[in-house]
Structure 1
Amino acid sequence: MALLVMILRKMVQNKWLVSSLFFGILLSVAVVGTMPIYSEAILTRMLVKDLETFQKDKGIYPGQHWSLMGFYNEAPDQRASKIDEMDRFMADNVGPGFGVPIQEFVRERRTRSVKFVQEGGTVLKKNPPTATLRSLTGLEQHIRLVDGRLPSGVPVNGIYETLVTQQALSNFKIVLNQVFTLNDDSIVGTVKIKPVGVFSKRQDDDPYFRTPSLVDLNTAFIVDEDLFDREFIRGNKVPVASSGWYFVLDYSKMELGNVKGFLETDKEIRAKIKSMVISTQIEFGAPAIDTIQKYFERSKQLSKLMWSLNVPVLIMLGFYMFMVSNLIVDRQKNEIAILRSRGAARWQIVASFAIEGALLCAVAWISGPFIGVGLTKVLGASNGFLEFVQRSRMTVHLNDQAFLYGGVAAAVSFLMMLVPVMLATRVSIVGHKQQLARMQRTPFWHKAYLDVLALAVSLYGLYTFRNRLKDLQSLGLNSDDLNLDPLQFVMPALFVIGSGLLLLRLYPYALRLIYWVGRKWWPPSLYATLIQVGRSNGQYQFLMVFLIMTIAIGVFSAGAARTINANNEDRIRYSHGAEFILQSQWANDKPASWSPSGPPVFGGSPGNDEASTSKVIHYLEPSFEPYRKLDGVEEAAKVFVKPKAVFSVGNEQGTATLIGIESDDFGRTAWFPNHLLDYPLYEYMNLIASDSRAVLISRTLAEQRNLKKGDTINVGWDKVNSQPFVVFGIIDYFPTFNPNPPIGSINASDKNAKNNAPMLIVGNLGRIQFQLALEPYQVWLKMKPGYSTEELYESIEKQKLPITSIVNTKEDLVKAKNDPFLLALNGILTLGFIISITVSFIGFLLYWILSLKGRTLQNGIMRAIGLSLRQLIAMLTLEQLLTSGTAILIGVTVGNLASRLFVPNFQIAFNPGSLVPPFKVAFAAIDFIRLYSIVGFMLAIGLAILSFMLSRIRVHQALKLGED
């Protein structure tokens, strides 16, 4: 107990240092605890968004789960027994097992398909129609009667009343209230039915119905559920063919914690039904399963990305804790040395510090995950790097993994705290006084060349990763095929540390050079500052390394965020080619295509003409001028795209994408970055504009067919004779063209991977239309600044343009920006930047305040010999510039360099083969403005605080302190 009291008193005496140390531990635990919390929250949002997209694109409610058990030759009592057993299983086990709220639970029963004739034996047709009798749980709550009434729950005069759809009446060519007799050998006795009501859905988007168009009910008569159970399942008047169970789940409540339960429940249902039936008449349906499987792949990518972005921040926090612990130990080294000289064992001294550290780590471990929850909510509002908006709240839960991760972080922090203590206990009182006298001692990292080692390891890791990444792109492999080493995430931090320490190795020589250059002109205050910094260089090592790391990691986070966001936008713009891509319907002589459920369709869509007819189709080109006059349009261009054009060179043939353009309009309309080609795009446009026969070919085509400028290539396509063209230029990239092999098209053992790369031919549209064929082209639009999408659509509708499809690049950019994956990335990088700057500011103030307190006597002597307060402040400012300012400058330089070298590695979180244009590091001026503003504010506040402390120094008190 006495030891605990002594430790608490010591913590109170060093309250500012202990508070700073606790802040670092708490922040570390919170950041590490944030990872599983944020992962679960963002993955939940990703899953729900993916399911919403699935519903929007497919028109199918993704929260449904459907299973059906068919019967063959089972006895009636066996069928009834199995149905009862499955009903109990579904109600008792399956419902709770899904882990999400159940909106509807529908039991669907079906009889065999039987023929029916009008009462009296009159045959309606030569071949009587067939239908099934069905029952559905709770149907009445989800329908509205179009005609007639609801059927009775008991036979009326021996006749079973039913409901039908409007389409069923049309299909059967019957009317309400007609009585029909079921005509089938399997029926026991005489069974009569009478449709008494016609129904439709009460709500069009009601997920109660498995098929939105009710197509599965258009050949059925619907019977009351209880009646069906008594008469057909128990009574066996009409053999029951199957029983199905349909769950409507609220997928918006699906989270990471219940996804596994959903999959396990699905497996249980499948296994149970398969164990109960002999026949193969089994059906299952769960649209969400495929999306969930993709979701697991995305979760792996997100986890990989989160570690790669958080590891540098965690290393920085570890260094911060080590620095603060070292400051605490430095202030108590004299006490430690005295205790050692008076017989205290090393383990006793370490134990006292260990108890102190354990108390701090325990409190941080308990409270850190709760702070992590708050950080997660803040990160959920990120709309970009250091951009926050109001959006729907993420589902955030404090899970067990947060405490597990936080416990590991607290344990590592505890070990980091004990390292300086263990080093200090090795020194006796004599050794401690010797160290105080030797201020110019060489740091350990300097002697062991840790800077060179860290730099070498990081560069080697970068080299090996780049080689493997190049193979990944050239072979068209998936990112999972890279077998990424987790240590790769540490490489940016190792590079920052190695580069910073290497520059600090050169720092004393720079000081000597400054001193030597102006030794005849420096004023006494500057001379004293240079002497102070030069002779006490070892004192500033920790501060300078710390500032270098924090500033460099802040710059690295900013560079990574801007690069990934900018490259993602460039990829979308490049893949589309222009702001709007329109496809219109052209008049043609294609034969009419007939549909059994609708009128004939004259003139099909351009995409399937060849597949639908063997006849050569002739098109009539509509006027192009209305497109130029649409509201908001600045430029418009015709772009003809033929995906599988046939080319021949000598005796060799192949297929390539053929693009026909009008070079002048295309050059003004298309989006294309200038750095991708040897010359600007407009020069290539001018090149092929000079000759109608001129074409540009991709480098992949030139390499695979050994083509060069001036060679002739024949181009055509199916049912179109080839015509000669002349190669005028070879290009690596062109709007919409991806030269990388498609992902999964080849394997890593393929020696001739480049032969699988896509190929491209770009020619003049006029010659293609005149000598090959006139077929529909796309219309690319470039819009005026500040245009309104709504006005453009209204203008298209006003001019009655026959548009069949519209690709809106702006809409896709907004969709990509709101993608949960990018939101997670921006949130993590924003958190890393804020933490780096905050910790840098706290560490900076802490060090200088302690340093100034330790030099009270020296500053008092300076005042006593005649230096004014202004001169002392000038000396302090110069000292900060030579130390903190230099460290910040090095940090910015190293951070920029680390970004340029290591940020491209983050493309592994995506599919590198799909990243066209190639990944390019980007910086935004606003990020540097923010960074420099924060750093300048930090230096100004620090200088103000230190100046205030200097002004409070009393000469007589300082001198008396020296006498004591």
Structure 2
Amino acid sequence: MGLFVMIIRKMVQNKWLVSSMFFGILMTVALVGTLPIYSEAILSRMLVKDLQNIQVQNNIYPASHWSTMNFYHETPEKRLEAIKDLDRYMKEEAAPSFGIPVKELVIERRTQFIRLIPENGVEDEKRKDPVTSLRSLSGLEAHIKLTDGRMPSNVPVDGVYEVLMTEAAMNWYQIVLGSVYQLVDEKIQGTVKIKPVGLFTKKQDDDPYFRNTSLSDLTSVFIVNEQLFDNEFLIANKIPVTVSGWFFILDYTKMELRNVDQFLASDQGIKAMISSKKPQFQTELAVPALKTLTAYFDRAKQLNKLMWSLNVPVLIMLGFYMFMVSNLIIDRQKNEIAILRSRGASRLQIMLSFALEGLLLCAIAWAIGPLIGIGLTKMLGASNGFLEFVQRSRMTVRLNGQAYVYGGIAAAISWIMMLVPVILAMRVTIVGHKQQLARVQRTPFWHKIFLDVILLGISIYGLYTIQNRLKVVNKLGLDIEDLQIDNMQFIMPALFVLGSGLFLLRLYPLALKLVYWIGRKWWPPSLYATLIQVGRSNSQYQFLMVFLIMTIAIGVFSAGVARTLNTNTEERIRYGNGADFIAQAQWPNDAPPAERPRGQAAEVSKVDSMTPKVTHYLEPSFEPFQRLAGVEQAAKVFIKNEALFTVGDQSGMATLIGIDTDEFGRAAWFPKQLLDHPFYEYLNLMAQDSRAVLISKTLADQRGIGKGDTIYAGWQNVKPQPFVVYGIIDYFPTFNPNPPLGSVDAANNESKQNAPMLIVGHLSRIQFQLALEPYQVWLKMKPGASTAELFNSIKEENLRLTSIVNTREELAAAKNDPFLMALNGILTLGFIISILISFIGFLLYWILSLKGRTLQNGIMRAVGLSLRQLIGMLALEQLLTSGVAIFIGVMVGNLASRLFVPNLQSAFNPSNMVPPFKVVFEMIDFYRLYSIVGLMLLLGLGILSYMLSRIRVHQALKLGED
């Protein structure tokens, strides 16, 4: 107890240092705890969206689980026992184990197929009577509506079983309601008659209750009341039951990553339970979401790797911070430690006191750090770029056990780092401590072991390895999945920044000596004193300068990474689509039906196939597109992917695009500086002559075509017409000049004869001289125009569209990609934490430095230096330390960006990316960055100036006498 009281008193005496240390530990635990929280939150959100896409695109309810058991040669007793066991298991064990709410459990029973004859009909085995099956579905009444008749009874009526049927079943069997039919089969016990009394359909079209949305599986069956079915057929066995199924309908909107294991475990449990009934029974299982759920474990691993690699620079900085603060604490207590050691205190006792102090801080940080991680996770979810935030739909953020596991590991490592300076301090005696105080100018440990050279060597080797890998990818046209960023691409820049910073700090004392030597005869006293102070105490500034260098450099690099990836992602989507919206209208035509009517002679088909029919189209009005709400410009764009061309004795296949140059230039999106001349100049060149065309460089290179050559273009069943080449271009909206992925032969990789080719001509000439065929309508929207208003306007104009591409939606989906969101969020969060840590370290160091130099400052005031001169000296000292560190950080950050950011093109399949990958820097990012850092320094200087103004000369001199 006495030791604990001593520790508390010591912490109170050093409250500012201890608070600073606690803040560093807390930020470390919170940052590390954020990783599993964010990973679960974002992947859960994307999982729900992916399941929604499955439902929309495939018209299948994804969060369902269908399992059946088939009975063919079993005894009634064995069958009844198995079905009862499975009913109980599904209701009592399987349903609660999925981890998400079960909307409904549909139990389905089916009898074997039996012949259906009229009540008074005569059975004739030679006659092919229709066959049917009786079926029951639990909870059916709540999901259907009667279109005719009534609901059937749950008991036999005059020995007849009343049934329901669909309208398709009524048409299939050609029967009417109220008719009585007899079921005939050798396995039927007694006489079984059925009477259809009602027609039904779905109450809601999108009801997931029905596995088959079209109800086509109910075309040849009759539905019997569930209770009646179980009593008469399952228990009494009047007709053998051959199938029993269990269909779970789950609420996938409540699905989270934490539930995936439960869902998969429940699926395995159902399989195991049904398998336990084998080999007597046959089974069938269908789980639409199973493939998607299984893949999410791989996505979670990839996301975790990316997040860890992104956090490496911040974790390194936090480690430096904690070591620095711990070192400052120990420096203030070295005299006390040395005295205790000289008076008989053992190393274990001293170590125990510091260990308990660190353990207390780490335990508190571990307890509340993951809670702060929840707030940091929400910040990550709102990021849209480096230091950019937007309003997004809220993610479901939950605290999980992994956050405390990771936080505990971070706290333990922090605790160990706190003890390192203690271990080093205990090796020094009271005499050695006094000797160290006298040796102000000593070489830092990392310079002695050449850590800067080692880090630079590792980072440059990593850069060389990554660049070689990219060269192979580009050379062979290999495929890389989107956003499969190598984690080393973020670790290597951090090592490069740290190594470069330490290397420049190795040279910094030499630069100071050079400046001092150059002006030693002219420097004023204040500058002379400052140069002496900084030059002799260089080792004291090392930690602070490393902080600032890493903060600025990583901030510059982070800004470049975020801006580059976001811009390239956006430009790839915009270029691939061509405009904000691409609509395809329905064109009336005289094309024959896709399927020929039955019974038509084969000879006629053969003749028709030899004489292809040209389809004639009627062009719909274009004016309604120009009147759509929010549309700034509409353009007609005709695209023929398999056009044929001839040049001299050469021929080939290319993509033919027809445009109206003025409208197209105003509607299409095209990046600047992608061509040798501005894009509109090529369109103006082409506009001079209706025969003019632009061709791709791939076409010009492969066929040896130059400007002024004549090229004939057409397509199947259309006679080619002459065009004149006016220009050769590398890129054009939607056109990808790169060979298809994987198409470049490794043995002959220089050959690109399979690269796509392009011809761009006037739409009017193509329609007049070639053929009139459907074109696309490209729409450019006004700034701030609403997508909802556009779609409402399309309905009002009664435009019949066969397809529409929404570039805005694709851009939003890309921004919401978990990997891109993680990258933007963590880069922003890491920089903000770095700024906070640097600011606290900055203030902490300078406050302690001023307190340690109180006597010196008091003497300077006493000998005649004014407060303004003292503040000027402080500002100059800041310039020579913090200012130099910021300059080095900017220089190193820009160099790291130039070297390492181009490697991020591996995220976009560099061998097939259009537009080509480019490194992007925006001044707005640097304005934000430098504004925050400048504000930090000005605020710190203001606080220090205020503290300096509070120094009283008589108090300082009295302190010196003491």
Does the CA contact (< 8 Å) of 2:582 and 2:805 recur in 1? yes
Structure 1 residue 876 displacement after superposition: 1.1
> CA 1:84–1:720 in structure 2 vs 1: closer, same or farther (change >3 Å)?
farther
Does the CA contact (< 8 Å) of 1:473 and 1:912 recur in 2? yes
Secondary structure of 1:332's aligned partner: helix
TM-score normalised by length of structure 1: 0.90
Which residue number corresponds to residue 82 of structure 2?
A: 82
Structure 1 residue 559 displacement after superposition: 3.2
Indicate whether 1:931 and 2:932 are aligned: no
> CA 1:927–1:357 in structure 2 vs 1: closer, same or farther (change >3 Å)?
same
Structure 1 residue 387 displacement after superposition: 4.6
Which residue number corresponds to residue 864 of structure 1?
A: 862
**2:941 partner amino acid:** L
Which residue number corresponds to residue 371 of structure 2?
A: 370
**1:311 partner amino acid:** V
Which residue number corresponds to residue 555 of structure 1?
A: 556
Q: Deviations over 1:779-810 (max 9, x none)?
A: 11223334343444454444444322222222
Which residue number corresponds to residue 761 of structure 1?
A: 758
Does the CA contact (< 8 Å) of 2:656 and 2:761 recur in 1? no
Secondary structure of 2:673's aligned partner: helix
Which residue number corresponds to residue 955 of structure 2?
A: 957
Give the Cα separation in 2 of the matches to 1:290 and 1:63.
Answer: 12
Give the Cα separation in 1 of the matches to 2:208 and 2:315.
Answer: 47
Matching of residues 807-956 of structure 1 within 5 Å: 807-906=805-904, 908=906, 915-956=913-954
Does the CA contact (< 8 Å) of 1:304 and 1:909 recur in 2? no
> CA 1:823–1:686 in structure 2 vs 1: closer, same or farther (change >3 Å)?
same
Which residue number corresponds to residue 605 of structure 1?
A: none
Matching of residues 6-85 of structure 1 within 5 Å: 6-85=6-85
Give the Cα separation in 2 of the matches to 1:95 and 1:754.
Answer: 59
Structure 1 residue 509 displacement after superposition: 4.5
> CA 1:872–1:674 in structure 2 vs 1: closer, same or farther (change >3 Å)?
same
**1:783 partner amino acid:** M
Matching of residues 131-530 of structure 1 within 5 Å: 131-273=132-274, 276=277, 282-340=283-341, 349-382=350-383, 384-388=385-389, 392-473=393-474, 475-479=476-480, 487-512=488-513, 514-515=515-516, 522-530=523-531
Give the Cα separation in 1 of the matches to 2:877 and 2:380.
Answer: 38
> Of residues 778, 781, 785 in structure 1, which corresponds to 2:779?
781
Does the CA contact (< 8 Å) of 2:30 and 2:407 recur in 1? yes
Give the Cα separation in 1 of the matches to 2:240 and 2:431.
Answer: 101
Does the CA contact (< 8 Å) of 1:621 and 1:776 recur in 2? yes
**1:826 partner amino acid:** N
Q: Deviations over 1:258-317 (max 9, x none)?
A: 212222332343454456466996433222123223433432332232122111111111
> 568-577 or 613-622, which moves further after superposition?
613-622
Does the CA contact (< 8 Å) of 1:863 and 1:955 recur in 2? yes
Which residue number corresponds to residue 804 of structure 1?
A: 802
Give the Cα separation in 2 of the matches to 1:707 and 1:188.
Answer: 85
What is the root-mean-square deviation of aligned Cα atoms in Å?
3.6
Give the Cα separation in 2 of the matches to 1:801 and 1:106.
Answer: 42
Does the CA contact (< 8 Å) of 1:525 and 1:875 recur in 2? yes
Secondary structure of 1:394's aligned partner: coil
Which residue number corresponds to residue 599 of structure 1?
A: none
**1:558 partner amino acid:** A
> 939-948 or 636-645, which moves further after superposition?
636-645
> CA 1:101–1:958 in structure 2 vs 1: closer, same or farther (change >3 Å)?
same
**2:950 partner amino acid:** R
**2:676 partner amino acid:** D
> 859-868 or 345-354, which moves further after superposition?
345-354
Which residue number corresponds to residue 603 of structure 1?
A: none
> 177-186 or 456-465, which moves further after superposition?
177-186
> 782-791 or 490-499, which moves further after superposition?
782-791
Q: Deviations over 1:120-161 (max 9, x none)?
A: 218999964443211001112222333322211111111000
Indicate whether 1:736 and 2:737 are aligned: no
Structure 1 residue 181 displacement after superposition: 1.8
Give the Cα separation in 1 of the matches to 2:701 and 2:311.
Answer: 42
Structure 1 residue 336 displacement after superposition: 3.6
Q: Deviations over 1:896-932 (max 9, x none)?
A: 4333433444555565567533343334444333333
Q: Deviations over 1:456-515 (max 9, x none)?
A: 321221221122134335545454799987554421211211222233234335445554
Does the CA contact (< 8 Å) of 1:688 and 1:763 recur in 2? no
Give the Cα separation in 1 of the matches to 2:863 and 2:325.
Answer: 34
Does the CA contact (< 8 Å) of 1:70 and 1:279 recur in 2? no
Does the CA contact (< 8 Å) of 2:739 and 2:912 recur in 1? no
> 788-797 or 858-867, which moves further after superposition?
788-797
Secondary structure of 1:620's aligned partner: coil
Does the CA contact (< 8 Å) of 2:483 and 2:819 recur in 1? no
**2:498 partner amino acid:** I
Q: Deviations over 1:359-380 (max 9, x none)?
A: 3223322332232233324434
> CA 1:245–1:591 in structure 2 vs 1: closer, same or farther (change >3 Å)?
same
Q: Deviations over 1:162-220 (max 9, x none)?
A: 11223333333332212122244554433211111222333333222222332222332
Q: Deviations over 1:594-647 (max 9, x none)?
A: 799xxxxxxxxxxxxx99995332323344454344444333332222334456
Give the Cα separation in 2 of the matches to 1:914 and 1:91.
Answer: 52
> Of residues 672, 675, 687 in structure 2, which corresponds to 1:674?
672
Does the CA contact (< 8 Å) of 1:739 and 1:757 recur in 2? no
Which residue number corresponds to residue 619 of structure 1?
A: 617
Q: Percent identity?
A: 68
Does the CA contact (< 8 Å) of 2:654 and 2:759 recur in 1? no
Q: Deviations over 1:204-244 (max 9, x none)?
A: 33222222332222332110112112222233333333221
Structure 1 residue 435 displacement after superposition: 3.3
Give the Cα separation in 2 of the matches to 1:584 and 1:724.
Answer: 29
Which residue number corresponds to residue 638 of structure 2?
A: 640
> 78-87 or 866-875, which moves further after superposition?
78-87
> CA 1:480–1:681 in structure 2 vs 1: closer, same or farther (change >3 Å)?
closer
> CA 1:708–1:17 in structure 2 vs 1: closer, same or farther (change >3 Å)?
farther
Secondary structure of 2:155's aligned partner: coil
Does the CA contact (< 8 Å) of 1:7 and 1:352 recur in 2? yes
Matching of residues 659-738 of structure 1 within 5 Å: 659-686=657-684, 688-689=686-687, 696-698=694-696, 716-720=714-718, 731-738=729-736
Give the Cα separation in 1 of the matches to 2:700 and 2:418.
Answer: 62
Which residue number corresponds to residue 120 of structure 1?
A: 120
TM-score normalised by length of structure 2: 0.90
Does the CA contact (< 8 Å) of 2:582 and 2:806 recur in 1? yes
> CA 1:801–1:469 in structure 2 vs 1: closer, same or farther (change >3 Å)?
same
Which residue number corresponds to residue 602 of structure 1?
A: none
Give the Cα separation in 2 of the matches to 1:748 and 1:360.
Answer: 61
> CA 1:112–1:356 in structure 2 vs 1: closer, same or farther (change >3 Å)?
same
**2:875 partner amino acid:** T
**2:284 partner amino acid:** E
**1:960 partner amino acid:** K
> CA 1:872–1:816 in structure 2 vs 1: closer, same or farther (change >3 Å)?
same
Does the CA contact (< 8 Å) of 2:386 and 2:558 recur in 1? no
Does the CA contact (< 8 Å) of 1:475 and 1:741 recur in 2? no
Give the Cα separation in 1 of the matches to 2:243 and 2:750.
Answer: 52
